[in-house]
Amino acid sequence: MDREELTYGAHKVIAGVLKGQCRAIVYRDETQLKAVDADTVADAIAAAKDWIDALNRERSKGRRAPHIGTKADYIEAFRATPIADHHAAMLRAHANAPERALTAAELAKAAGYASFASANSHYGKLARTIAESIGLSPAVRDGQDHEVWTFALADGDGEVETASWRWIMHPEVRDALRELNMV
């Protein structure tokens, strides 16, 4: 079978013609989720994308905000994402902190970083990976013109981009981490 492979969000679509039938198959990780038949390969790919879009729309109905997932979303994301030791240390400290709140400096200390800027950078990269894997939109803080991916894991308060800024982990994240025995 001649085939086309493409990535669409967190899904992989493999399409082609097999025994005279045009088909696209949707995968998440290595799991086959849906097979779509059509008159042409292009139509099969378009139908697969439509199915993924409908799945994402349905999934987003249970979310408090476009940048915050459900507990089930986070469970899926954490299962699918390799978590480095420094990320695991920050997640553990954050989930176990009183009121799920830590300053950027405290997150840095949990991961063994000397500066809060390093913690912000690494935690933001983890948050982006998690957010993109479950189709969350990036958040933009009032008065800023850039995306802050960490809002996918936590809300914040305090003076922006200082050591006193506090990240308050979303309860959905903490609950997912607990269910997965990561904290």
The pLDDT tens digits for 103-116 are 988 999 999 998 88
DSSP 10: T
- Is the Cβ–Cβ distance between 150 and 127 less than 8 Å? yes
3-state secondary structure of 22: strand
Residues 140, 70: Cα–Cα separation, whole Å: 20
Q: Output the pLDDT for position 61.
A: 85
Provide the whole-model pTM.
0.77
Residues 73, 96: Cα–Cα separation, whole Å: 20
Question: Is the pLDDT score of 139 beyond 90?
Answer: no
